[in-house]
Amino acid sequence: MDADPDIRSYIDIAGHAFGPKGRVIASLFICLQLFFVATGFLILERDNLHKPSPDFTLKLGSMTLDGRFSFVILSGIAILPSMWLSDLSAVSYASAGGVLSSLVIVVLLTSFVICTITYMSMEVLGYLIYGQNVQSQVTLNLPTEKVSSNVAIYTVLAAPIAKYALTAMPIITTIESRLPANYRVTSMGILVDHTPDKR
């Protein structure tokens, strides 16, 4: 950044170090990573909503959708309004809800050591308690009949909804920057063609 004050992101650094190809490759990997995180949010929502309501189905006209697929659609609908915010300052306010729902305090090296020990202990205890039935997410092993378990599950579900738009914003910005000049994205995130009418 000392060499070029216009450098603002990892993509700029890659472009400065490796040229246009480096910029494209860095952009591709960053967008892929964020896409997978956003997909992981939807999977987390789906699995944690399906566990307390395994018999849930969604009927759309003559089509019936099973519970897992239904919960992905419903989570997407819940997340959609935050995706319309193209102003990052407005998105950051929506993301603050996710930060409040997480309340994860990680401070310096001591906290990392404590977290590592805790995670390793949870893995061992989870396997000792649930054996071969241990699930990929700790909330999937919680009993749904307990109020405290449901509070934990729904608190975990709040974070992805609040953070989804902020996670997807770099992907959206990258796609928008590659659009032709006659296309413009409105403040509500809607793509509009501004080609003059030739009649």
195, pLDDT greater than 60: no
Q: Which residue has the tokens 């700790």?
A: 138
Q: pLDDT tens digits, residue range 97-129?
A: 666 666 555 676 677 788 889 888 887 887 787
pLDDT at 197 over 70: no
Dihedral-angle region of residue 108 (phi above 0 means left; psi in -120 to 50 means alpha; beta otherwise): left
CA distance 93 to 76: 19
- Give the per-residue pLDDT at 169: 80
What SS3 class is residue 56? coil
| In the predicted structure, residue 79 carries a pLDDT above the cut 70 | yes
Quickly count: other Cβ atoms within 10 Å of residue 91's Cβ: 22
In this prediction, residue 198 has a pLDDT band, given cuts at 50, 70 and 90, of low
Question: pLDDT tens across 4-32, in order?
Answer: 777 777 788 888 888 889 888 888 888 88
Q: How crowded is the C-beta side of 1, counted as CA atoms within 13 Å?
A: 5
Instruction: Specify whether the CB–CB gap between 134 and 141 falls below 8 A.
Output: yes
Contacts of 35 (CB under 8 A, 6+ apart): 168, 171
Pairing between β-strand 183-185 and β-strand 191-193 as defined by DSSP bridges:
antiparallel
> Cα(164)–Cα(38) distance, rounded to whole angstroms?
6
* 182 has a pLDDT exceeding 80: no
Best mean pLDDT range from 64-78, 105-119, 140-154: 64-78
Q: How confident is the model at residue 191 (pLDDT cuts 50, 70, 90)?
A: low
Distance CA 122, CA 128 (A): 10
The predicted pLDDT at position 104 comes to 56
Quick check: 95 pLDDT over 60?
Answer: yes
Residue 99: predicted pLDDT? 65
pLDDT of 184 strictly over 80: no
DSSP code of 131? G
- Write down the pLDDT at residue 57: 85
Q: Are 45 and 75 in contact (CB under 8 A)?
A: yes
